[in-house]
Amino acid sequence: MSVEFSYDAPTNEAVLKDLAVSNDFKIDDLKQNQAGRISDRQAIRLAIQALRPVFASGGTLAFWLLCTWFIRHFVPGILQIFLFKYAVTGYWAVTLPAIGAFLMGLLNSSRLTFLLIHDLAYGKCAVIEGRTTTSWEERPAQGTSRLWGMKDTVYNYCIKNEYFEVNEEGYKVLHTKYDSFTPSVKLYYSPRSKMMLSLEPR
């Protein structure tokens, strides 16, 4: 007696719903991408993504400078003298790396931001089709953590040797939920900055 097993592939509608939720795009965004345009909502999301290194490092620097301002204006003078006399080395050990991390974040964002501005000025999107796989890698962390050698995990969708960065949820939905079913998709992206907008199963 033999036993046969069958595997029901998920429907395109189910795959699309999972991809949209995990990759933070709406069906209206997808429709505009299908028409060759970048939606307004996507333009804002891409701008935030491109400037993420500046936000991370700038936030650290701003917080530290705020702490310094608070000490100078609200801590009693005698205590200030004690702090700056005995902690001046520690102060510069934090301040200089924070400034360096901010400048590094600004440098890392400048090229991507320039390309994205060009993409948004034209408002057109590009498309690539094929089987999609997932990958991940470690890169130097943003902010002052970068100076201490810490790493961030970066997730990607891979189509025809092209890599598009995605969030962890987007990575997991393909890597875990559809690990035995590698979907063939149409992926829409910004042409020069190569940032993913949306995707749909073929």
What pLDDT score does 51 carry? 74
pLDDT tens digits along 104-113: 666 666 777 8
5: confidence class by pLDDT, cuts 50, 70, 90: very low
Region 53-80: what's the mean pLDDT?
A: 67
Mean pLDDT over residues 63-80, rounded?
Answer: 68
Report the C-alpha gap between 154 and 151 in whole angstroms. 9
In the predicted model, is pLDDT for residue 27 greater than 90? yes
pLDDT for 121 beyond 70: yes
Whether the predicted pLDDT of 34 surpasses 80: yes
Residues in the chain: 202
All structural domains of the chain with their residue ranges: 12-201
At 2 the pLDDT is 43
pLDDT value at 194 more than 80: yes
**Torsion, CA 101, CA 106, CA 112, CA 114, rounded to 10:** -170
Q: Report the distance separating Cα 195 and Cα 202, nearest Å.
A: 20
184-201 burial code (b ≥16 CB/10 A, e <16)? ebbbbbbeebbbbbbbbb
Can you give the pLDDT at residue 6?
Answer: 43
pLDDT band at 28 (very low <50, low <70, confident <90, very high): very high
- Of 122, 157, 137, 146, give the one whose Cα is nearest residue 54: 146
pLDDT digits 0-9 by tens, 138-186: 876 665 555 566 677 899 999 999 999 999 999 999 888 887 777 889 9
- φ and ψ at 150, to 5 degrees? -75, 160
How far apart CA 133 and CA 50 sit, in angstroms, is 23
pLDDT given for residue 139 in this prediction: 74
CA-to-CA distance for 154 and 197, rounded, in angstroms? 17
pTM for this entry:
0.72
